[in-house]
Structure 1
Amino acid sequence: MLDQEAILTALRTVKDPELNVNIVDLGLVYTVQTKEDVIDVEMTLTSPACPAGPEILRNAVAAIELLEGVTKANVKLVMSPPWTPDRMSDDARDTLGIF
């Protein structure tokens, strides 16, 4: 069984192409659950109309499915609660110049 930190590390390789910051540090990943070799993730986007949304979701699935022992990644897009900049890590804030 994979631990949550390994999954989050894989998801850190996925960047929002418009902001050039990974989805974990942006605070887009809400939940990660492991069921044997299947990983379920709930995540959001910075905006419901984000044009990069489909690309980000595909990349998140691909990053998780590259992990040894994972046969399937289910990434579900949720809009509740809505994303706010308060969810960003300090590293993301520094990168984007938000203080």
Structure 2
Amino acid sequence: MEQTTHLLECLKEVYDPELGVNIVDLGLVYEVREEPERVHVRMTLTTPGCPLHDTIVGAVKWVLQENTNKTDIDVQLVWEPQWSPQMMSNEAKEMLGYF
């Protein structure tokens, strides 16, 4: 399995608690890459003022630490491009009734 694919599969264990859908299918993960000393994640949230910011970022760090044995997990939250429902996978859209 390709490295990035493996990391994305791991991140599917992290759910947005309000929506009940994982952050990958929601389209919140823009980039994930494993470097020799760390894992870097560039992601967003559904809204800039998301009250679950710390919970979601903490879960991302925990899941990647557990699955890569790396302790340096760099999570960069970005607001550009702004998230929109069109970024969701078809599975997420179906779960949330977008069809």
TM-score by length of 2: 0.93
Judge conservation of contact 1:37–1:69 (CA < 8 Å) in 2. Answer: no
CA apart distance, 1:37: 3.7
Q: Any idea what SS the aligned residue of 2:82 has? A: coil
**1:17 — aligned with what?**
17
Question: What are the superposed Cα offsets for residues 61-99 of structure 1, whole Å, 9 maximum, x if unpaired?
Answer: 111010144232111110011001110000000110112
Query: 4+ runs of 1 displaced by more than 6 Å?
Result: none
- Tell me how far apart the structure 2 counterparts of residues 56 and 45 of structure 1 sit (CA, whole Å): 9
Structure 2 counterpart of 1:9, one-letter code: E
Percent identity between the two aligned chains: 41
**2:49 — aligned with what?**
49
Structure 2 counterpart of 1:75, one-letter code: V
**2:92 — aligned with what?**
92
Q: Any idea what SS the aligned residue of 2:59 has? A: helix
Q: Any idea what SS the aligned residue of 2:93 has? A: helix
Structure 1 counterpart of 2:28, one-letter code: L
Gaps (5+ residues) in structure 1? Answer: none
Q: Any idea what SS the aligned residue of 2:67 has? A: coil
Structure 2 counterpart of 1:58, one-letter code: G
Q: RMSD across aligned C-alpha pairs, in angstroms?
A: 1.3
Alignment of 1:4-83 (within 5 A): 4-83=4-83
Question: 1:68 and 1:49, CA in 2 relative to 1: closer, same or farther beyond 3 A?
Answer: closer
TM-score by length of 1: 0.93
Deviates more, 1:3-12 or 1:33-42: 33-42
